[in-house]
Amino acid sequence: MLIDSHCHILKNEYSNPDKVIKESFKSGVDKLIINGYDLESSIEAVALANKYENVYAAVGIGPENIDDLKESFIDKINELSKLKKVVAVGEIGLDYYWTKDNKDKQIYVFKNMLKIAKENKLPVIVHCRKAFLDTYNLLKEYNIKGILHCYSGSIEMAHKFIKLGFLLGIGGVITFKNAKELTGVVKEIDLSNFSLETDSPYLSPEPYRGKTNSPSNINLVAKKIAQIKQIKEDEVIDITGNNVSSKFDL
Ligand SMILES: [Zn+2]
């Protein structure tokens, strides 16, 4: 089953999200998990999940969207996470690459999102950039499983997150020429620990790098992983699909 475990098919990103969703299914994608990153996008993700049988929602407040945060937003995310088509709390996490100066606030929001996941027995979809240690320690403390989206760490770190119960989300970056470390991770680690994702509209795989991404491009990610592991593309699609289905109870 071809599942895009992390995309943002939302109004801020596309002039016509419905069109992108329909084209994705037409191209052979079976299921999408649309990730919100603030309150408004989370509400929208839920509405789309309610509209399409094979669309699921992740709701949450991400590290890049906390400047205008109100306490009431956290309560509202908690309410949303109780809804039927919401399968995860995400996109949440820590990003010390762009926004180092608000570390404390990022950690505060991340902890609150983890509490919501815990309370509602949901997995999480986590963004982690240049913040592996803090992310790892918090996920361990809260004892929560899920996906580490757009994995960009070392093989050693990958093993640590897998041990916690995490899948590593692999997207367009794996097709980039300079993805040496990630290629090593994909080569070394068993397919049972990966999910496929596009992070649409971002991170288009080659040969579309730099252009607007869409879930329809996810087969290029599957193809690249198959090439690296020297297995069939179908095997990549089946196993990663199973990984996501069972982790998120789709
Ligand atoms: Zn994302």
Compute the distance between CA of residue 91 and CA of residue 38 in angstroms, rounded to an integer: 9
Q: What is the pLDDT of residue 101?
A: 84
| Distance in Å, CA 152 to ligand 1 centroid | 13
In the predicted model, residues of the chain with pLDDT beneath 70 are 99-100
Domain that includes residue 76, residue range:
3-248
| Distance in Å, CA 39 to ligand 1 centroid | 15
239, exposed or middle or buried, with CB in 10 Å at 0-12, 13-18, 19+?
middle
| Distance in Å, CA 98 to ligand 1 centroid | 15
| Distance in Å, CA 7 to ligand 1 centroid | 6
Which amino acid, 38?
Answer: D
| Distance in Å, CA 4 to ligand 1 centroid | 12
| Distance in Å, CA 200 to ligand 1 centroid | 7
| Distance in Å, CA 143 to ligand 1 centroid | 22
Q: What is the pLDDT of residue 179?
A: 96
| Distance in Å, CA 148 to ligand 1 centroid | 11
| Distance in Å, CA 127 to ligand 1 centroid | 7
| Distance in Å, CA 34 to ligand 1 centroid | 9
Q: What is the pLDDT of residue 98?
A: 76
Which amino acid, 17?
Answer: P
Compute the distance between CA of residue 237 and CA of residue 242 in angstroms, rounded to an integer: 9
Give the single-character DSSP code of 191. Answer: G
110: number of CA atoms within 13 Å, CB side?
26
CATH of the domain at 209: 3.20.20.140
| Distance in Å, CA 8 to ligand 1 centroid | 7
36, exposed or middle or buried, with CB in 10 Å at 0-12, 13-18, 19+?
buried
Compute the distance between CA of residue 182 and CA of residue 41 in angstroms, rounded to an integer: 29
| Distance in Å, CA 35 to ligand 1 centroid | 7
Q: What is the pLDDT of residue 227?
A: 98
| Distance in Å, CA 213 to ligand 1 centroid | 12
pTM value is 0.96
Domain count, the chain: 1
pLDDT digits (tens, 9 = 90+) for 122-150: 999 999 999 999 999 999 999 999 999 99
